[in-house]
Structure formats: structure tokens, C-alpha cells
Amino acid sequence: MKDVFDETAPRRAWMSLMAKAPDGRVAALLDATVTPPSFTWLRAPEIGSTMVRGRAGGTGAPFNLGEMTVTRCALTLATGEVGHAYIQGRRKGDAEAAALVDALMQTDAAVTLRKTVLEPLEDEQRVAKAARGAKAAATKVDFFTMVRGED
């Protein structure tokens, strides 16, 4: 576990949030908020993989579980801010949008974007998780004891 109180925590949080957003969602929310600013690519969107690891017994020595697809890119705004994106799947458009949001979050646009992009994403992910959790909870077994034979 990393220290969550370091200064990179907010940036880690928004990058993580966007990495897990459904197809096209970050791009749609960004487009609805601002006219995409001009930028230059530091690294054009690229599809690759990450080797996912697990631990033997859940807590022991790590082992390689298998890979997942990832899209990454990096860009610089005309004003100099650098945005990065590493997101699950093969989604170049979403990676571009996520890198733009990452860069814009370092500008004065941050307050607006938090309201129009990050908070809606957060809400949607919370609702989706809660809905799944509630369905799982409905399948939880309530045991009751039958009358014992010896009584």
C-alpha cells in the first residue's frame, strides 16, 4: 500500500477513475464541457499490455497471472502542461481524452472539470458498484437452525 496522503494522491485518483470509465465516457463528458484545447503529442496513443500479478495464497510470493490490454499516451498543452493516460483496453480516443483531462486538471479549468467530468464519473462508478453489491447481498444465505432431534 502506498502512502495516500502524498501530494500525488489527487492526480492518482483522477487518473485511476478515468482508466476504469466505460467506453467513450471520458471523451463524451470532456466534449460536453470544453472545446478540446490544442496540444502536441509527446507519445501518440499506443496499444500494449500490462502483466497482471497475483500472490500465492493471496498474500505470499507474487506470480504472473496474465496480461491485460492497455492504451497509453502523453501530450503537452500549448500552455505547457503535460497530460498522461494509461487506461484499460484498446481505446485510443478515450486515452486522448483522459490525457487531456489530466493536463487540464493542472490548469484553471480544474474546478470546472472536476464538476463536469470527474464527479459524474465517480457517481456513475459508485452507482454501478452499489447495484452489483446489492444484487450480491440479495444472494447472501440466511441460515436458520431446524429443531434438533434430541430436544
# residues near another protein by CB under 8 A: 56
Instruction: Specify the amino acid at residue 2.
Output: K
Query: Distance between CA atoms of 68 and 15, rounded to whole angstroms?
Result: 17
Among 35, 56, 80, 108, binds another protein (CB under 8 A): 56
- Answer for which of 35, 40, 135, 148 binds another protein (CB under 8 A) is 135
* Nearer of residues 115 and 129 to another protein, judged by Cβ: 129
87 binds another protein (CB under 8 A): yes
Q: Provide the sign of the torsion angle of the four alpha carbons 112, 79, 8, 130, taken in this order.
A: positive
With left for phi above 0 and alpha for psi between -120 and 50, is residue 57 left, alpha or beta?
Answer: left
The only residue of 40, 78, 80, 134 in contact with another protein, by rule CB under 8 A: 134
Query: 21 and 121 in contact (C-beta within 8 Å)?
Result: yes
Q: Is position 126 an interface residue for another protein (rule: CB under 8 A)?
A: no
> Does the footprint of another protein cover residue 80 (CB under 8 A)?
no
Q: How far is the CB of 28 from another protein (least distance, A)?
A: 18
Q: Between residues 35 and 64, which has the closer beta carbon with respect to another protein?
A: 64
Q: Is 8 helix (H, G, I), strand (E, B) or coil?
A: coil
